[in-house]
Structure formats: structure tokens, C-alpha cells
Structure 1
Amino acid sequence: MRGIEQYVIYAIYHHSYLALFSFLSLGMLGLPVPDELLMAFSGFLISIGRMTLAKTLLVSSLGSFAGVNLSYWLGRILGPPLFERLGPYLHLNAQKLNRAEDWFLRFGLKTVVAGYFFPGFRHFIAYFSGISKLPYRLYALLTGIGAVLWSITFISLGRMLGSHWKEITIILHHYLLRGSILLGIVLLFIYLWTTKQTNTINK
């Protein structure tokens, strides 16, 4: 990851907005881009006058929005055929997949905005929103809100911390990654519990 971090920092420093949009779009697709780090670095560049706050917020929001929305459409178009092929190997049949999709439409909406702040988890949410055929207008609205809030948070963090932006961002990323795992476990527990309750009622 060190090589990627150095390349991203170099690209943002020399190509600013174009690099910011491109890397965020790719990072939100799930590629190994240090999203929080490049956002905080952009905030630092604002603090030294190399980038402007308004343009950086706009470009970062659009870049992250573009990435998660492309993930949504990839999930929506490619997801069902992929699950049909891999289903037997993953012990997933149509009934189980439909049940998971129904559950996500009922309970998963709250995680679309919050999921932005958890590395790894946000990628899963984006693809599964498409697979579940979550109405696109609703998804676009929620991800638009999430993109703006996420951008403001990490750009402001980089701005405030100045030359210490990198150390704090690495620590934050570490805890957010743990939070992603914990959130995934909690959601899995809730899903299994609600599924069990539904099966009990149906019996």
C-alpha cells in the first residue's frame, strides 16, 4: 500500500482536481485506493493554498458519488447472473437470495449513508443495493447526501490537522476498518434473527 499512497499523494499534489476525481471514483468501486488519506491530504493542500475548499468539496463529492453509483449499476446488471452461477458453490439458492434482498430493502437503507464512513463496508453496500434493485432515485439521493457529508468530514480533518494530517488519518482508518467488521457482524446477527423470527411465524 505504501507505493500506492505515495503515487496518490504525488498525483493529487501535481494534478489536484482531476486526480482527486479519478482516484475517488476508482476507490469507491473497491480498488485499493486510500480514500480517507487522499481526502485528508486534499484538506491539507487547501490549508496551504494549493487547492480551494469549494472546488475540492465539489470534485470529491462528485468523484465518490460517481464511484458508488457505478458500483450500484454493476451490481444491478451483473449481480443476478453472477449469483446464479456461484450460488450452488456458496450454498445460495433463489429463495435465500430473495430473502436477503427483501431484508436489505426493509432494514438496509439506514446503512447507505452511514456506510460511506466504513472502508470495505461501503463497497458491499453499493453493490448489494444494485443487486437488491433498490430504487435508483432513492439510492442516488442517499449516496449524494453521504458523499457530501463524507467529503466535508475528511477534508475538514485534513485542513484542521495541517502537517499532522497523515498520522491521524492512518489511526482513524484503522478504527473505521474495525468498525466496518463490527457493523457487518451486527447486521448479520440482525438478519439471522429476523429471518428466524419470520420462519417461526410462518410455521
Structure 2
Amino acid sequence: MGIIDFFVNLLKDPRGFIAGWIVALGPIWVYTPLFLIVFVETGLVFFPFLPGDSLLFAAGVFSADGGGLNLWATLIVFYLAAVLGNTSNYWIARLFGSRIIDSGKVKALTPERMAKLDHFFERYGGLTIVITRFMPFFRTFAPFIAGTGHMNFAKFTFFNVIGGVTWVSLFVLVGYFFGGVPFVQEHFEVIVLGIVAVSVAPAFIGVIKAAMNGRKGKGGE
């Protein structure tokens, strides 16, 4: 299975993957792939497409009684992955940010997204790190942009911890408390896709607005 196929299938069926990991790895080592996926999504600017939101939700479902995961262990592992991932991303940008941007190898790090994040930092300051936690793609790029000069490390760490804890708690606990509802069980795949759609919506709307504003600007010249 290629890496792209793996992530596409994980996005479609996180419940199936977690169930398989519980059986194959056991109640302790199962947390290793969960940690790595969230860490890589938030920590490496090359992987902004990983299914963080849906994975957190599915892990919350399995953290309910009899699901195979422990709620507190799940929360702590994801807290660490989210915070350490952003921290890694920040320092990669501090040390190599200009080279990575100039190389053009990160195709998803478009000038439009960078401009959008610049606007977020100008308008919301450190809260950008918290807000973008709930926006796929942008949550991967925000700590990178912060590391290129928008924020000192102490301030970044403060908002990084708040954002990471809030993001993880929300999705894991929603899965924990509502995953056992029969409707959720019967329509799990649809709900997961809905979570992804809602998460992506702000970024998608932002792209549309930017495109419309660009056209208006050209029309007014």
C-alpha cells in the first residue's frame, strides 16, 4: 500500500484502522501510530493533509468503556503529539524556513495561504495558533509561519499548549460521549466525512473569498 493510499484509506475509515491497531499492537503500543500521525500532521510542513480531526474523534469512540483505549491515556498521548508537533514545526521554520519556502518543494504552502496566515497573525496575534488548530492545512502551516519570525518561542509555546489541549479535548471527548449513540454507530463513515467537511470549510471559504477579492481588484483597475 502506497503512502498516499494509506492516508486516503485512513481518512475514510479511521475506525477500522484503530480497531486493527488495537488487535495487532495491544493496549499500550496502539498509541504509537496515533501519536505519530498527529505529530507528523502538526510537526512536518510536508504533511498537511493527514486526518487529524477524524482520527481524534475515532480514538475518542474507542476510549469509551470496552473500546480498547483508555480515555486519559488517549488524551495525554494526543496532547503530547499536538504540542510537540507544533514545536517541531516552529523550530524547523526557525532554522530552515526561508530555504524551504524558496525551494518551492512544499506545493501546498502557496502564496495565497501564506498571505492568509499573515493576515491572521496581524489580526489575531498569538490566537492564530489556537484558531488554526481547527483548520486543516492551516494548522500545519501556522506554527511554520510563526517560526519564520512572527512570534517569539515563549509566546508561541503558551498559545501552542492552549490550542493543542483545546483541539484534542474537543474531538476526543465528542467521540467519547457520543460515539456510542446508535445513530453515530450506524452512520460513522458519514459523520467522519462530515467532520472533515466542517473542518475544511473555513479554509475553502477563505480561498473563495480571496479569489473573489482578487477578481474585484483586477476589475477595479
Sort the TM-score into its range (normalised by shorter chain). 0.7 to 0.9
Quote the residue 1:168 is aligned against.
Answer: 191
Aligned counterparts, 1:115-134, within 5 A: 115-134=132-151
Quote the residue 2:155 is aligned against.
Answer: 138
Tell me, what secondary structure is at the counterpart of 1:132? helix
Which residue identity is paired with 1:25? F
Quote the residue 1:107 is aligned against.
Answer: 123
Which one has the bigger helix percentage? 1
Which residue identity is paired with 2:69? M
Identity %: 22
Aligned counterparts, 1:1-203, within 5 A: 1-2=8-9, 5=13, 8-9=17-18, 10-11=20-21, 14=25, 15-28=29-42, 29-30=44-45, 31=47, 32-49=49-66, 50-83=68-101, 106-109=122-125, 110-159=127-176, 160-162=178-180, 163=185, 164-183=187-206
Question: CA shift at 1:146, angstroms?
Answer: 0.7
TM-score by length of 2: 0.68
* Contact 2:130-2:160 at 8 Å conserved across structures: yes
Quote the residue 2:219 is aligned against.
Answer: none
Q: 1: distance between equivalents of 2:202 and 2:118? A: 25
How has the CA–CA distance of structure 1 residues 46 and 105 changed in structure 2, closer, same or farther, with 3 Å as cutoff?
closer
* Contact 2:54-2:195 at 8 Å conserved across structures: no
Q: 2: distance between equivalents of 1:36 and 1:82? A: 26
Tell me, what secondary structure is at the counterpart of 1:171? helix
Question: How many pairs align?
Answer: 179
* Contact 1:157-1:165 at 8 Å conserved across structures: no
**Unmatched tracts of structure 1, length 5 or more:** 87-91, 193-203
**Unmatched tracts of structure 2, length 5 or more:** 1-7, 105-110, 215-221
How has the CA–CA distance of structure 1 residues 85 and 25 changed in structure 2, closer, same or farther, with 3 Å as cutoff?
closer
Tell me, what secondary structure is at the counterpart of 2:50? coil
TM-score by length of 1: 0.73
Which residue identity is paired with 1:81? R
Moved more, 45-54 or 76-85: 76-85
Moved more, 169-178 or 144-153: 169-178
TM-align CA RMSD: 3.1
* Contact 1:74-1:127 at 8 Å conserved across structures: yes
Q: 1: distance between equivalents of 2:171 and 2:202? A: 17
How has the CA–CA distance of structure 1 residues 184 and 129 changed in structure 2, closer, same or farther, with 3 Å as cutoff?
farther
Tell me, what secondary structure is at the counterpart of 2:133? helix
Question: CA shift at 1:102, angstroms?
Answer: 8.2
Tell me, what secondary structure is at the counterpart of 2:30? helix
Which residue identity is paired with 1:54? W
How has the CA–CA distance of structure 1 residues 47 and 106 changed in structure 2, closer, same or farther, with 3 Å as cutoff?
same
